[in-house]
């Protein structure tokens, strides 16, 4: 019988580089990468398309009814060598990265019925181990028994600068202040919501990457992962 692989949880603030690191680690260790932020973004896109979040108000009763029609999942794309998020069978990996979705996602992610549905799905994906999952509540709620947990953060201005550079590749109109305000606001909503707020798990390894190069960060995470795998 082959040994069960460990699970790795990566939580932290918006745009702290969690997914870049998680993808690189998954590739190096041959684990499955699960981007739970993409799932909440797909849920936000669903709510936008269904006109359930017209203003900053949400109609939670209508959303409760609509959630049964919300099909979110991943399909592996051999070209990018990554799982990509699908909504109702349609690949929405690009569409969910828009500012429109970014502005609504924290509101949608605070809805208990939506969290319940997505957490269930995330736990099913992680059942057999070998998963690196990134998000906000992975080490605390989704995989409280994960063998290794990271909490990644960085100075808000550094995070905004990195995000602007990423977004400007496809959209030259992106404003620094817009991005900074959006991520500070998302951190605030994500940390203060009633259901599964963003919180560092007591047993998480904390990494502030404000002053680190991607290579330095990767080495730090990889050395912890190798140690955790060896001790299983
Ligand atoms: O990681 P991201 O920025 O793509 O996540 C988008 C939003 O989804 C983020 O503002 C908070 C929410 N989220 C969450 O509430 N729980 C998770 N496990 C992952 C993301």
Ligand 1: which atom is nearest the Cα of residue 14?
3
Asked whether residue 143 is assigned to any structural domain, the reply reads yes
DSSP 126-159: HTTS-EEEEESSIIIII-TT-SEEEEEE--HHHH
Residue nearest to atom 13 of ligand 1 (CA): 37
Query: How many domains, the chain?
Result: 1
Helix 214-230 with 18-29: angle, nearest 10 deg: 50
Residue owning tokens 């990996």: 93
Distance CA 84, CA 80 (A): 9
Pocket test for ligand 1, best of 38, 109, 111, 115 (most atoms within 8 A of CB): 109
Residue owning tokens 């998963």: 131
Helix (H) or strand (E) holding 205: strand 205-208
The pLDDT of residue 2 is 66
Asked whether residue 2 is assigned to any structural domain, the reply reads no
Residue nearest to atom 1 of ligand 1 (CA): 37
**Structural domain of residue 159, as residue ranges?**
8-230
The pLDDT of residue 85 is 97
Give the residue ranges of the chain where pLDDT is below 50. Answer: none
Asked whether residue 125 is assigned to any structural domain, the reply reads yes
Asked whether residue 138 is assigned to any structural domain, the reply reads yes
For residue range 69-127, list pLDDT tens digits in order. 999 999 999 998 889 999 999 999 999 999 899 989 989 999 999 999 999 999 999 99
Chain CA centroid to CA 202, Å: 20
Asked whether residue 217 is assigned to any structural domain, the reply reads yes
What's the token pair of residue 28?
Answer: 């190096």
Residue 11 Cα to ligand 1 midpoint, Å, equals 9
Residue nearest to atom 15 of ligand 1 (CA): 109
The CATH number for 195's domain is: 3.40.50.300
Residue 61 Cα to ligand 1 midpoint, Å, equals 22
The pLDDT of residue 179 is 93
The pLDDT of residue 170 is 85
The pLDDT of residue 1 is 57
Asked whether residue 1 is assigned to any structural domain, the reply reads no
Asked whether residue 80 is assigned to any structural domain, the reply reads yes
Distance CA 142, CA 163 (A): 26
């Amino acid at each position: 019988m082959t040994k069960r692989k460990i699970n790795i949880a990566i939580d932290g603030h918006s745009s702290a580089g969690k997914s870049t690191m998680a993808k690189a680690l998954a590739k190096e260790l041959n684990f499955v990468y699960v981007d739970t932020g993409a799932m909440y973004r797909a849920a936000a896109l669903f709510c936008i398309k269904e006109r359930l979040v017209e203003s900053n108000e949400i109609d939670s009763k209508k959303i409760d009814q609509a959630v049964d029609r919300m099909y979110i999942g991943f399909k592996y794309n051999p070209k990018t060598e990554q799982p990509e998020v699908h909504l109702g069978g349609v690949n929405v990996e690009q569409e969910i990265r828009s500012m429109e979705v970014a502005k609504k996602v924290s509101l949608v992610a605070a809805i208990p019925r939506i969290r319940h549905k997505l957490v269930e799905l995330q736990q099913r994906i992680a059942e057999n181990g070998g998963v690196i999952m990134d998000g906000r509540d992975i080490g605390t709620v989704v995989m409280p028994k994960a063998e290794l947990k990271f909490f990644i953060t960085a100075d808000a201005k550094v995070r905004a600068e990195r995000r602007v550079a990423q977004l400007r590749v496809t959209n030259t109109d992106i404003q620094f202040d817009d991005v900074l305000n959006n991520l500070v606001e998302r951190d605030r909503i994500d940390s203060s919501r009633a259901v599964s707020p963003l919180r560092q798990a007591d047993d998480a390894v904390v990494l502030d990457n404000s002053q680190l190069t991607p290579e330095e960060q990767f080495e730090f995470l990889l050395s912890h992962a190798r140690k955790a795998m060896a001790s299983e």
